[in-house]
Structures are given as structure tokens and as C-alpha cells.
Structure 1
Amino acid sequence: MRYFPLFMDLLEKPVLVIGGGEVACRKIDMLLRAGAQVTVVSPKIEPYLAQLVGNDKCHWIQRFYEPELMTSDYVQVWATTDNPSLNHQVHKDAKKLRILVNVVDDTPYCDFITPSIINRGRIQIAISSGGSSPVLIRGIREKIETVLPMNTAQLADFAASKRADIKQRFPSVDERRKFWELFFRKPDVMCCVNNQDIEQVYQRMVEQPVTFSESCTWIEFGDDPELLPLRALRLMQEAEIVFYDRACPFGFVDLVRRDAERVSFHDITEAAEHIRQCKVDGQRVVVFIDPASSAYRLLKESDNVIELGRIK
């Protein structure tokens, strides 16, 4: 992984953009949506930017770039001109001041790159190939767009409005997470088109006792994580702890929920007592096991076992 994925808070942060052409227009539009305080340096700018300047949306320094225009107050610098020499000078000046810099369409001169973004209000999905294949990324984005519910932003706003209420009803972070998992899994929630309908479902759930049960699922791994059934992927995203054979390909473990605890073992008997205690504690457990192993069959008790392509 060449680039570390990161969402940066630019609200009311000063950002410098060198250049006033079409490329600058696209970048500045996104920066303003994020709440940045944008300063543009260019002898002339596109009509769209002139309109933004006229509406006090951003500040324009109407002149050619000079190094003294860059100060350490800026948290980001963008070089968007069609002059490579000038862009590289901007990069050099920014590096001297230790400011993050992006030279558009010139990856070696970028501290960060901008991904393809799906924007649903509070929900943002960023997709990147590290600049290697924009066409591939566009296709992936189109696929995600087709399956993402149109009320995603509405659901995110609703959940945000209930944060205080949920904290009062469920004291632990784990309980709150499990409640929201149950809530968003309901078909009538995902189909709701107005807040009144969402509120009715919410009230029905919080007024009834909510029980969170433990689960333990044993998943036999193979060579290809793409063969995992959807049910296995869902359970992997719900798990609080995952045990995995050291022979298990990383691709399987990497699909588990990011904040789940990970425990490796060489022999399943090493982890047997730990797994048993997790079940007693009410945790949701996933165990990746070598399909060639038979030892786990004595330990799984009545737990589910998922093979690649079949559930037992």
C-alpha cells in the first residue's frame, strides 16, 4: 500500500492554490465543500473562480507566483498550472516550509493524492489506485454507486441526531455498535424515504429489550478470498475477535473488521481455551481454520462452520 488513506479536516484551514485554470476550478470546488479558506495565486482566473471571488468564497492574489507568497500558515499547497517548471518550484518552496503539497498530474511531486469520491452527505467513500489506473477506479466507483442506497446521507444524519439518546440507553461502545448493526440491517430502514418512517422503526427497537448474543463461526480458508460467501463476509465484519491459523493467507484476515482483535495460532489447540472464554464473555468470534485440519472439529461444538461455497 503506497498511500495511507486519510480524511483531513480542512474546515477554516488556509489552503494555497497556484493557478487559475480548469484544473484549479475542480480542486477549489472540492476544497470549498470541505470548508477550507482558499487563496488563489494567478494573473488571471476562469469565470467560475471569478464568481467565487466575487461572492467572497475565496481570496485571489492577482499576480504571478513568487516564493514569498507561500508562508507556513498554509496547511496545503496545490500547484495546478500547465507549467511544469513553475509547479516544481512551488513543490520545492512548499517542502522547505514542510507544507503538504500536490502537483496535479505529477505523482512524484505529490505528498498526497486525491481519490475518486462518492459523496453522500456525511458519508464519503474514497477510491484510489495510487494514480495508476483512473479508468479502473471509475468503473469501481460506478459499481458502488449502483448498490449504495439513495437514503444513505439521510440515515447518517439520523444516526448523528441520536448519538446522545443512544449513549443514555446503552452504556458501552460495544452495545451501541451492536444496536446500530441490528438497526441498519432492517430492510424497512434501508427503504425508508423520510425521517418519520425511520423514527418509527427506531422507537420500536429502543422500546423493546434488545439482546446481543455471542456467536462463533469457523471459516475454512483456501487460496482465494473472493470465494468467501456473503454470509461469511458479514460475520467477519461483525466479529470482535478473530483467531487465524498462521498458514491463513493475509487476504482473508484483512477482510475482517478493522478494529477487531487478531490472534494467530500454530495449532488450534493453543487457542481453544481463549476461544471458549470469548464465547463465555459474549463476544462474536471468527476462527479461520485450515480445511485440511481435523482437530478443530472436536472443538467447534455446535458452532457454524463455513466452507468456501458451502455452510455446514
Structure 2
Amino acid sequence: MSLYPLFADLRQRAVLVVGGGAVAARKIDGLLRAGAAVTVVAPALEPTLAALAAHARIRHVAARYADEWLDEVSPGGEKSNGGDEPSGYWLVIVATSDGALNRRIAAAAQRRRVFVNVVDDGTLSSFHVPAVVDRAPLQVAISSGGAAPMLARLLRERLETMLDDALGPLAALAARFRARIRARHPEPAARRRFYSSLFGGAVADLLRKHQPALAEAAFEAAVQAPAAPIAGSVALVGAGPGDPGLLTLKALRALNEADVILHDRLVGPGVLALARRDATMIEVGKTGGAHSTAQERIHALLLEHARAGRRVVRLKGGDPFVFGRGGEELEFLRAHGIGYEVVPGITAALACAAYAGVPLTHRAHAQSVRFVTAHCRDSLDMLDWRALAQERQTLAVYMGVAGLETLRERLLAHGRAAATPFALVENGSTETQRVIAGTLNQLPELANAHRVRTPALLILGEVAALARTLHWYGTPPLGGAPGPSLRHAA
């Protein structure tokens, strides 16, 4: 179930809780901390709730539930006519052990367009109460959509250890100074940089040391300090082969600091979803035979946004320095005086081989690896085929789907054995990964039979036979008869 995350302001707003036991008490505790006006309908209350009722912290109706309670305009006020109008209650929480009653309350609430949560029954609930990491006023809410509450609680426990207690006072300080910060830094990019330097600097450190007066003074000084001129910059970031989990921590930080992201067509939605929500996304992919962005246009966009003082991320599939034109883009940036940095990514050869269970080197069978691009006739004509056809090495061929027949012919012509194993990895490291395995003499026919499409990486060499026995991700390899098995190295 896909839920829309929402933080509700319940201050002085009426909430109805049905049930007076320990489960209800846990829910009511959170409601009271949020400032809600809680009415509890139950024949009796457990001791904690009874004490709250005695001190007028909650309103207790000592009765069994009836649908009429949902028709109140306000607690103790007049009722609406017939229950067809919205209830005076903003939320209803059902905490009883009676399944039939729970279903009845849920149906009645939903008819009245009131959000209802039936504890531990996601199918009856129109809203879910998340597990919360509380660093007030900062809160982190975690929900599994009702599918696995214990998993949400486990994640909450982990986050509790990661988020220190200084975050709450830091957020409170930021709230107090917010208007002054916006006036001092009217441009969003400059404001984001100010907050980034502030939250990671002396103010946070002083709060961790429980020195709030000094922290506030440091905050005040930072707000009053003259604004430094904004210099744009470019980060050349490798997005890896597809699995968002393969992003480096530095790449993730760059995505969260970016004002503008220029990304390749093959950078998947899972990676892009990790970027700042308000970053400007510009696709600048290149596609053979279809719409593509010229490299000169990419250069112009990098220059335009960097000169405007923005943090630009040039996000490339794999690694920017492996067949990614990263060197050309850095040369351009340097020539125009734009600051830059490079964040390496896991290149396709490493990731596709790993996710296919193929070691690129093996001490008994492959002492070297060659990275080769074969996306067009010109690139094929420039290759040293005699060297590529040598044994005891692994070839990792990028962008070679369209040239597989030529590749086979030239390797065979220069002495590579027809029985040399290959593994062709399509959409490597993603949920749609496929591995086609066979031998060099079968290569183009098997690729055509299985309709292999880009992006796909070819691994050719004796080690590729291990794709059949060492696969661990996705479905087993497809293809013809297995090639010769490898001896295990001593």
C-alpha cells in the first residue's frame, strides 16, 4: 500500500478514542503530546487513563460505543442531522478487541469522511500511526503501510542511535531565527548553503555539549555575518549501474546538496529519487537513433547554471571517467574557470560482473582485464584485435549490442577460441537483470534469440563460464549449452 505521508496539527482538535485499555493508553499519550482534545468512549478505563480523566486531561464517556458519538459537532455539543454531515472529530482511533465492533466503527467513520485508525488492522484503517523518532520539534516518522509494523519499529530503534539529541534544540533555534535568515539570504541556494554550514558547525557542537547560551550566541553571529558571494560549482558524479544501493555516501551527499542535476537517460528513477525534491532535473541522455543531447549543449548547461551560482551535479551512469566523457567535461569547466570535483561511481563492468557471479580476474585463468567500447563501426576499427584475442584475459565490452557479430568475427579471425565463454548482462544490478551465457561462436545468435537490448555489458573470457555456477542475483543465466568448466585455482 502506498500511503501519503502527513504530519497533522491536532492542537485543540477533537479526537475520539474507542476503548479504555493499555493499547488505548499508548495511543492517547501521543495524542496528548500533540495537544489534541481527546474523548474516550469505554465502559471503564485502565488506571493511567482513569488518572488522566480525573485531572480533566481527557474526557471520558462511561458507555458502550454507539454510532451517534461520531455525529457530535464538538465534544458535548449539538449533534448533526442523521450522520450525513462530517463529524466534529478530526480523527477516530479504535482500540478494542472486538473485531465486529471495530469493523462497524471503521465503516461509520468512513461514511462520515473522518479518518480512522483501527489498531493493528491496516485493512480497516484510513490512516496509520507511524513509529516516531522524536527530537522535537524535529520528528522522523516511519511506516510500512501496515504491512510490517515490527520492521518499522526496528528501523526506529536504529535511527534513535543515529540521531543525537542536539537536533531538537538546533531545529528550535532555526525556527526562532527563520525570518531573519530568510531576510539575510533571500536566494534559496544561498539559504541552503547557510543552513548546511550552520547545522554541521560550531552551533551543533555546542548544543551537543549542553551549552545552549553559547550555541545561541554562535547562531546569532552566523546570521549577522556578511553573506559570502555565491560561487557555482559542478560535481561530476557516478551513479553506478542502476542499483541505488551502490551509490557512494559522497554521491548521495552531492545529490542532496544539488540545485540542478543533469542526468543521463539510463540513470534510473531509484537513484533520482534520492536527490533533493526541489532540485531542477534535466535529462541530457544520448540515445543512438533517437533524440539525444549534443555534448556542446551539455557543456552550455553546465556553464549556465554554475555561473548563476548553483551547485550542479552532472550525474552519469556507472563511473564518469569510464566511457563517460568525464574528461571532456572537466576540460571544458577548467577552461571556463568553473570549480569542480569528481565523485567516482561503480562502473558497469565491475557491477555487472559481480551481480552475474563472474570474477573479472582469476589467478588460474585471467591475469588481466580490458575495458572496451564497441558502440559504432569507428570504435571497432580502432581496436587492437590481435591483443584482444589473446587468452588468459577478460574482455568487458561496453555498448556493444549492435556490433556483436562483427566482434565475434574479428576475435575468431585473430585466434580467439570459438568455445570461449561469454556472459551478456542486460540491465545489470537492477530488478530486470538478465544474463545470457554461451560461447563466442554462439554470441550474436543467442543475443538475438533472447532479444537483448541496451544497456547490456558483454563479459568474454574463461571466467564467464562461472556465471552458470556462481550466480546469486535474479534468475539463473539463459542460453545454450554450458561452456567448458573452470578448474578451481589451487
TM-based fold match above 0.5: yes
| Aligned ranges 1:237-256 → 2 under 5 Å | 237-256=256-275
Q: Of the candidates 82, 104, 107, which is equivalent to residue 122 of structure 2?
A: 107
Corresponding position of 2:402: none
The one-letter amino acid paired with 1:244 is: H
Moved more, 221-230 or 150-159: 221-230
Query: How far off is 1:241 after superposition?
Result: 1.6
CA RMSD of superposed structures (Å): 2.0
How far 1:295 moved relative to its partner? Answer: 3.3
Letter of the 2:269 counterpart: F
Of the structure 1 ranges 198-207 and 57-66, higher mean CA displacement relative to structure 2 is found in 198-207
Give yes or no for contact 1:218–1:305 (8 Å, CA) kept in 2: yes
- Shift of the alpha carbon at 1:196? 1.8
Match of 2:311 among 280, 284, 292: 284
AA in 2 matched with 1:307: P
**1:294 maps to which of 324, 327, 333:** 324
Larger mean CA deviation between 288-297 and 223-232 belongs to: 288-297
What amino acid sits opposite 1:44 in the alignment?
A
The range that moved more, 21-30 or 227-236, is 227-236
Matched, 1:130 2:149: no
Q: In the TM superposition, what is the alpha-carbon distance from 1:283 to its structure 2 partner? A: 0.5
In structure 2, the CA distance between the partners of 1:19 and 1:266, relative to structure 1 (3 Å rule), is same
CA distance in 1, matches of 2:250, 2:202: 16
Q: How much has 1:27 moved relative to structure 2?
A: 0.8
Q: Which runs of 5+ in 2 are unaligned?
A: 72-86, 287-292, 335-339, 348-490
- How far is the alpha carbon of 1:98 from its aligned partner? 0.9
For the pair 1:308 / 2:335, whether they are aligned, the reply is no
Give the aligned residue type for 1:6. L
What SS does the corresponding residue of 1:70 show, helix, strand or coil? helix
Opposite residue 33 of structure 1, the aligned amino acid is R
Q: Shift of residue 265 of structure 1?
A: 2.5
Q: In the TM superposition, what is the alpha-carbon distance from 1:35 to its structure 2 partner?
A: 0.9
- Amino acid aligned to 2:215: I
Q: 1:66 to 1:207 in 2, by over 3 A?
A: closer
Relative distance call for 1:261 and 1:187 in structure 2 (3 A) is same
Contact between 1:189 and 1:201, CA under 8 Å: does it hold in 2?
A: no
Hey, what does 1:196 align to over in structure 2?
Answer: 213
Once the two structures are superposed, residues 92-112 of structure 1 have per-residue CA deviations (whole angstroms, 9 ceiling, x without a partner) of 111111111111111110111
What is the SS of the residue equivalent to 1:60? Answer: strand
Residue identity in the other structure for 2:108: D
User: With structure 2 as the length reference, what TM-score do the two structures score?
Assistant: 0.60
Instruction: Give the counterpart letter for 1:219 in structure 2.
Output: V
Q: How does 1:163-242 map to 2 (within 5 A)?
A: 163-186=178-201, 189-192=204-207, 193-211=210-228, 212-222=230-240, 223-242=242-261
Higher relative contact order (CA 8 A, sep 6+): 1
Q: CA 1:183–1:102 in structure 2 vs 1: closer, same or farther (change >3 Å)?
A: same
User: Tell me, what secondary structure is at the counterpart of 2:20?
Assistant: coil
Q: Which residue of 1 aligns with 2:367?
A: none
Give a deviation string over 1:30-57, Cα, whole Å, max 9, x none. 1111111111111111111111111111
User: How many Å separate the matches in 2 of 1:247 and 1:19?
Assistant: 53
Task: Deviation per CA, 1:59-106: give whole Å up to 9, x if none.
Answer: 111111111111211111111100000010001111111111111111
Matches of 2:44 and 2:107, distance apart in 1 = 23
- Give the letter aligned to residue 227 of structure 1: L
CA distance in 1, matches of 2:195, 2:232: 16
2:111 to 81, 96, 108: 96
- Classify 1:23/1:288 alpha carbon distance in 2 versus 1 (closer, same or farther; 3 Å): same
Letter in 2 for 1:254: A
* Alignment coverage as a number of residue pairs: 310
Q: Which amino acid aligns with 1:286?
A: V
Q: Percent identity?
A: 35
Gaps of 5+ in 1: none
Given residue 294 of structure 1, which amino acid in structure 2 is its aligned partner? G
Q: What is residue 64 of structure 1 aligned with on the other side?
A: 64
Listed one character per residue, the Cα deviations across residues 94-144 of structure 1 (whole Å, up to 9, x for unaligned) are: 111111111111111011111110111101011122222233323322221
Structure 2 counterpart of 1:126, one-letter code: A
- Per-residue deviation, 1:306: 1.4
Q: Distance in 2 between matches of 1:143 and 1:125?
A: 12
Deviations 1:201-230 (A, max 9, x none): 224434443323322112122233223222
SS at match of 1:263: strand
The 8 Å contact of residues 149 and 190 in structure 1, kept in 2 or not, is answered as no
For the 8 Å contact 2:189–2:310, the answer to whether it is kept is no
Given that 1:238 and 1:284 are in contact with CA atoms closer than 8 Å, whether structure 2 keeps it comes out as: yes
2:370 corresponds in structure 1 to none
In structure 1, the residue matched to 2:280 is: 261
282-291 or 190-199: bigger deviation = 190-199
Which of the pair has more CA radius of gyration? 2
Question: Secondary structure in 2 aligned to 1:219?
Answer: strand
8 Å Cα contact 1:158-1:195 kept in structure 2: no
- Specify the alignment match of 1:274 in structure 2: 301
CA contact (8 A) 2:42 2:61 kept: yes
